[in-house]
Amino acid sequence: MRPKQRILVAGGCGFLGSHLCERLLAEGQEVLCVDNFFTGSHQNVEHLLGDKHFELLRHDITFPLHVQVDQIYNLACPASPIHYQRDPVQTTKTSVLGAINVLGLAKRLNIKVLQASTSEVYGDPKIHPQREEYWGNVNPIGSRSCYDEGKRCAETLFFDYRRQHSLSIKVARIFNTYGPRTHPQDGRVVSSFIVRALLGEEIVIFGDGQQTRSFCYVDDLVESFLRFMSTPDEVTGPLNLGNPEEFTILDLAKKVVGLIGSKSKIVHLPPLEDDPRQRRPDIGRAQALLGWSPQVSLEDGLQKTIRYFEALLRGDS
């Protein structure tokens, strides 16, 4: 059991954040969950509200935050294209100003801070699989740039705070993650395909469906976060965190339809702007440094996620 600490989770009412809050409480920690509810939901953490070690604070991290904590996980930023493109200026502010504010807080308190970065820093990659040494192929002025470049700038800030102020930082590059509590209308493929298949609606694929992704179940990702934060200060990352198994989007759609036994048809629409053709992490560094590898297969993870959305559509969850 880790020593009890008060841990700030920015974006704690989102999909990933709520699972992290839950796991930290299970580990015996105190959690300060901070969210502005732009995409996060009270429903994701309502089962935690009765826990005396859990505190919920409505706050936008583009503004400074003055609290006393022992660690920070910065997960605050819309992560799906539908959400981050809704207000792209605010998305960039959340990534950049949010990073400045959590780093400033960490510096004042002399504490460790983890940045939830993203595989989107690699853009539409020209090398495969993606290793941390790769600098990426990112369009700086496209419709996805608010997220891609915002996260890249946040990484810059984290490493400059490390170099300039000797701050203890951890930078995690998260690859596609899925599981219960993903937003049913966030436009990401796993949640979108499951909901449409459950409703018997057409499953929409943008492009030919041969673009690839790697899907990591949320419990595996949260485990990697905790292990990363437990490493010595010299282990800063960036670390690729995700499942290295690679699937085409078309294969994913067929697997979801098959698991549900749905009669949904798969239809194709024109490809989206700057949509990466390939995405698979090289997690060798994380395996070596954390002793971590994903444990949940895609089929098992999809089954758990399907059960969640079945309950949600019935009104049980």
The residue behind tokens 């444990």 is 295
Catalytic residue among 73, 84, 122, 147: 147
Assess whether 161 carries a catalytic annotation: no
Buried b (16+ CB within 10 A) or exposed e, 213-234: bbbbbbbbbbbbbbbbbeeeee
| Residues constituting the chain | 317
CB-based contacts of 50-57 (< 8 A; 24+ apart in sequence): 51/25, 53/25, 53/29, 54/21, 54/25, 54/30, 55/30, 55/31, 56/12, 56/13, 57/32, 57/33
Q: Which two tokens stand for residue 120?
A: 């989107």
CB atoms < 10 A from the CB of 165, how many?
Answer: 14
Burial of 23 (0-12, 13-18, 19+ CB in 10 A): middle
Catalytic residues: 147
